Chain A
């Protein structure tokens, strides 16, 4: 591994004070992407800024209005082990608990998953489906973007120089709604998605009709894709409509052929995964929470 400086600031202000000095900078959250990439020479830096000593980046909790605020560097295990998160946001737990194995989940963060910006990043479709917003900070203030505005290309996010991802905000979920995330991998665990789908379904008060569907697809384009599902609003919440949603997913997918899967296979997979995720979301929406 090439040599670099390591700094472990204790506050956001201190993080920002290390930026803009001309040094090539990378951040260290759980390190499960960046340490491997540095070792393999796929990324280079002069300084590595460890984010894990900044208290705001390491905690999570629900605000009084029901928003889940997650510090960008908090380890996945701490989030999905939280009983309140499990109860309120099973669709997020689906994704957070299948990234890597337990060793990875002890360290890997949602912020790292988003910033690393793999098209196959598992938490990204789940967060988009839930309507998550991202708080981006810099020395000159902060801004917020929707999760779907964040990925900019394979391995590229839309942070500007001097900015870091500070927090992920998952808004309170609407009444009569349910969410789910599913992926296809050739093994049972520990692999990278060949295709994936995150959904959130909002039903009418009598649970019969769809009010809204948010659908995001992983590993079938240069970034995670949020699908336009406006045409599903008002339709019956049944198998026929879900099949239509699956077709919309196939049509929106822009897959490539690679070692993990082919174009036709991936188109078919996102359709099946979308239908299955909608079935789970429907079940969750109609169960008492």
Chain B
């Protein structure tokens, strides 16, 4: 099968890679580029563990073909922290113990990040609605929602400083 060359921007860096049309973005991220932060839960769009931000919107990277990302801007969990400094959402997930096995966490953080960038003061109902495409088998969601709420002031502070 002919492989296509794709140029894209991943976490702020211009990259190019070769892939087959049938390969998903998730597959290429994990298996070709070594970005294993995005997780595969269901591989069919239901669990959100593979969530990345593509051109400003959250998508399930298992339901995007890697060839489709030509010219796109992709953010994955690997691009969320600043060096050693965790993003306020990552810090809040730790502080609120919003994870157990952690498989769902990268997806939740990417979804929540996209939400808070649009709606810095999203309330609990809005957060729950926005995160409906992310499943968690372990936590029962309350701690996740609490973590997102508690990150809101931190995030606004971080923006101002």
Residues of A that sit less than 8 Å from B by CB: 1-6, 8, 28, 31-32, 35-36, 38-40, 48, 50, 52, 75, 77, 100-104, 106-107, 188-190
Contacts and interface: CB of A to CB of B under 8 A. Distances in A.
A103 B21 contact: no
Contacts of B133: 100-104, 190
B7 interface: no
Nearest to A101: B133
A3 B57 CA distance: 28
Given A1-B22, A5-B21, A188 B132 contact: yes
A130 to B, nearest CB: 24
Contact of A103 (B4, B43, B111, B129): B111
Interface stretch (B61-69, B77-85, B91-99, B152-160): B61-69
B59 interface: yes
B22 A106 contact: no
A192 B111 CA distance: 22
Contacts of B1: 3
B65 A100 contact: no
Contact of B65 (A31, A106, A189): A31
A177 B63 CA distance: 38
Given A5-B21, A102-B133, A106-B59, A31 B48 contact: no
B38 interface: no
A-B interface, 6 closest residue pairs, ranked by CB to CB distance from nearest? A101-B133, A6-B21, A106-B57, A189-B132, A1-B22, A3-B1
A129 B67 CA distance: 37
A107 B70 CA distance: 16
Contacts of A107: 57, 59, 63-64
Given A36-B44, A107-B63, 5 more contacts: A2-B22, A102-B133, A107-B64, A189-B132, A190-B132
Nearest to A52: B68
Contacts of B63: 31-32, 35-36, 103-104, 107
B59 A103 contact: yes
A4 B57 contact: no
B95 to A, nearest CB: 25
A81 to B, nearest CB: 10
A28 B45 contact: no
A38 B46 CA distance: 16
A8 B24 CA distance: 16
A4 B48 contact: no
Contact of A101 (B2, B44, B54, B132): B132
A31 B132 contact: no
Contacts of A35: 24, 63-65
A32 to B, nearest CB: 6
Interface of B: 1-2, 4, 20-24, 43-46, 48, 51, 54, 57-60, 63-65, 67-68, 70, 111, 114, 129-130, 132-134
Contacts of B64: 31, 35, 107
13 contacts: A4-B22, A5-B2, A6-B65, A8-B68, A8-B70, A35-B65, A36-B45, A77-B57, A103-B111, A103-B133, A106-B57, A107-B64, A189-B129
Nearest to A100: B133
B129 A6 contact: no
B43 A39 contact: yes
Contact of B44 (A40, A50, A190): A40
B59 A6 contact: no
Contacts of B67: 6, 8
A108 B48 CA distance: 15
Contacts of B22: 1-4, 38
A35 B65 CA distance: 8
A103 B44 contact: no
Contacts of A52: 68
Max count, chain B CB within 10 A of own CB: residue among A35, A36, A103, A106? A103
A175 to B, nearest CB: 33
B59 A28 contact: no
A216 to B, nearest CB: 25
